[in-house]
Chains A and B, each alone.
Chain A
């Protein structure tokens, strides 16, 4: 069975500072990895995904993530955050080649950008 751990429930950061949101996963098979963002009272928006190939993945809104197989991590980074980046961020994993490709979500990290 797969699982996802987001150790930081909340990350406060000042505007224009860099940020890293941590995500670790466990799985006995190859996986696909995703980051989603959720703004208040809205659904989830796909930020980026890792399926295969280059371990550095670039997404929307200036975010990027790096897949590290040896450390089973998929941390999300942004070099300079804006107030508008304040939202809940979810890391998710699905099994490669699984029949239904269910997504298993982490518990989320609230990114709180302060002026």
Chain B
């Protein structure tokens, strides 16, 4: 149980284009999902908290117009990187909260912007 999937696993795009990443909870409903960014050999940085049916809560320093988050259903949250640039290249990981305190993570999406 508590399986979280992400799609795509890897994406390469041209600078200036937008990229959408999906995060799904496969065998449970998640009212809260989280989006993280991980730089090479670094820890995870929380970008935003996504709540079903309401606006996401962004961490300080994260551009909400750049990283659009939508949590339209209890099993799906999406992160759209708008007008992507090379500095947006990173490993993006989502998680879903199960029970009150535990997060289960997706396999991650590697984004490369050329």
Interface SS, B side: strand
B44/A46 in contact, CB under 8 A: no
**Contact flag A105-B43 (CB < 8 Å), given A43-B93, A100-B49:** yes
* Contact across chains for B49 and A36 when beta carbons are under 8 A apart: no
Partner of A41, one of B4, B43, B102, B108: B108
| Interface positions of A from 72 to 114, Cβ below 8 Å from B | 90, 94, 96, 100-103, 105-108
- Contact B106 A43, beta carbon cutoff 8 Å: yes
Pick from A44, A94, A108: contact of B105, CB under 8 Å: A44
Residue A11, interface by CB 8 Å:
no
Residue count of chain A within 8 Å CB distance of chain B: 22
What is the interface size of chain B, counting residues whose CB is below 8 A from a CB of the partner?
Answer: 24
B113, chain A: closest CB distance, angstroms: 18
Give the residues in chain B near A51, CB-CB below 8 Å. Answer: 101
Per-position 1/0 for B38-66, Cβ under 8 A of A: 00001110100100000001000000000
Smallest CB–CB gap between B28 and chain A, Å? 14
State the total of A-B contacts with C-beta under 8 angstroms.
50
* Closest Cβ neighbor of A103 among chain B residues: B103
Interface flags for B65-109 (1: CB within 8 Å of A; 0: not) read 000000000000000000000000001010101001111111110
Residues of B within 8 A of A41 (CB): 91, 108, 110
Interface residue A42 (Cβ < 8 Å from any Cβ of B): yes
Q: What chain A residues lie within 8 Å of B34 (beta carbons)?
A: 102-103
Chain A stretch 31-84: residues in CB contact (< 8 A) with chain B: 32, 34, 36, 41-46, 49, 51
Residues of A within 8 A of B (CB): 32, 34, 36, 41-46, 49, 51, 90, 94, 96, 100-103, 105-108
Can you sample 30 A-B contacts with CB below 8 Å?
A32-B101, A36-B105, A41-B91, A41-B110, A43-B105, A43-B106, A43-B108, A44-B44, A44-B95, A44-B105, A45-B105, A46-B105, A49-B101, A49-B102, A51-B101, A90-B44, A94-B101, A96-B101, A100-B32, A100-B49, A101-B101, A102-B34, A103-B34, A103-B46, A103-B95, A105-B44, A106-B43, A107-B42, A107-B43, A108-B42
